[in-house]
Amino acid sequence: MPRRAWRFLLVALALSLRLWRPWSLSAVPAVGVQPRSPKNRHLSPYERLLVNIMKDAGSQGRWSEVQRYWAGYNGTAVEVYDAAMGAAYSCGQYAHGATIFKKRSNHSAAEVDLNFLLTGLKIFRKLRDRLQTEAVWQQIETKGWVKDVDETTTLQASILLGNISLAASALDVVRTQRMLPDRFHCSSAIRACAMSDQKGKHLAAAYFLDYMMQERLQPDTFTFLSTLAAHQTASAQEIDGVLEKMALARLEPDAIMTEAYMGAMFQGRLRNISSPEDVEKSLAGVSPERLQAARSFLEENLACPGRRTKLTKLVMKFYGLT
> 50 and 125: one domain?
yes
Specify if 263 maps to a domain.
yes
Name the residue among 269, 261, 259, 256 with its Cα closest to residue 243: 261
Assess whether pLDDT exceeds 70 at residue 25: no
CA atoms of 202 and 234, how far apart (whole Å): 6
Q: What is the pLDDT of residues 257-312, one digit of tens each?
A: 999 999 999 999 999 999 999 999 999 999 999 999 999 999 887 766 667 889 99
Do 210 and 286 lie in one domain? The reply is: no
User: Does residue 234 sit in the same domain as residue 256?
Assistant: no
Averaged pLDDT score across all residues of the chain: 84
Q: Are residues 154 and 234 in the same domain?
A: yes
Q: How many CA atoms lie within 13 A of 111 on its CB side?
A: 10
What pTM was estimated for this model as a whole? 0.73
Residues 211, 172, single domain; the answer is yes
Domain count, the chain: 3
Residue 245 lies in a domain: no
Mean pLDDT confidence for 311-316: 92
Over residues 10-15, the mean pLDDT reads 40
Within a domain: 180: yes
Q: Indicate if 184 and 217 belong to the same structural domain.
A: yes
Q: Is residue 306 part of a domain?
A: yes
* Per-residue confidence (pLDDT) for residue 105, from 0 to 100: 84
Is 74 among the domain residues?
A: yes
How large is the average pLDDT for residues 124-135?
92
Answer yes or no: is pLDDT of 174 > 70: yes
Residues of the chain above pLDDT 70, percent: 84
Collapsed DSSP state (helix, strand, coil) of residue 234: coil
Question: What is the pLDDT averaged over residues 70-75?
Answer: 92
The pLDDT score that the predictor gives to residue 183 is 85
The verdict on 265 and 209 lying in the same domain is no
High-pLDDT (> 90) share of the chain, %: 65
- Note whether 165 and 189 are same-domain residues: yes
Residue finishing a domain among 187, 212, 238: 238
Q: Which domain holds residue 267?
A: 252-322
pLDDT tier at 109 (50, 70, 90 boundaries)? low
301 compared with 35, residue with greater pLDDT: 301
Q: What is the 3-state secondary structure (H, E, C) of the chain?
A: CCHHHHHHHHHHHHHHHHHHCCCCCCCCCCCCCCCCCCCCCCCCHHHHHHHHHHHHHHHCCCHHHHHHHHHCCCCCCHHHHHHHHHHHHHCCCHHHHHHHHHHHHCCCCCCCCHHHHHHHHHHHHHCCCHHHHHHHHHHHHHCCCHHHCCHHHHHHHHHHHCCHHHHHHHHHHHHHCCCCCCHHHHHHHHHHHHHCCCCCHHHHHHHHHHHHHHCCCCCCHHHHHHHHHCCCCCCHHHHHHHHHHHHHCCCCCCHHHHHHHHHHHCCCCCCCCCCHHHHHHHCCCCCHHHHHHHHHHHHHHCCCHHHCCHHHHHHHHHHCCC
Same domain, 233 and 158: yes
Greater confidence, 247 or 307?
247
Please determine, for residue 169, whether its predicted confidence score (pLDDT) is greater than 70. Answer: yes
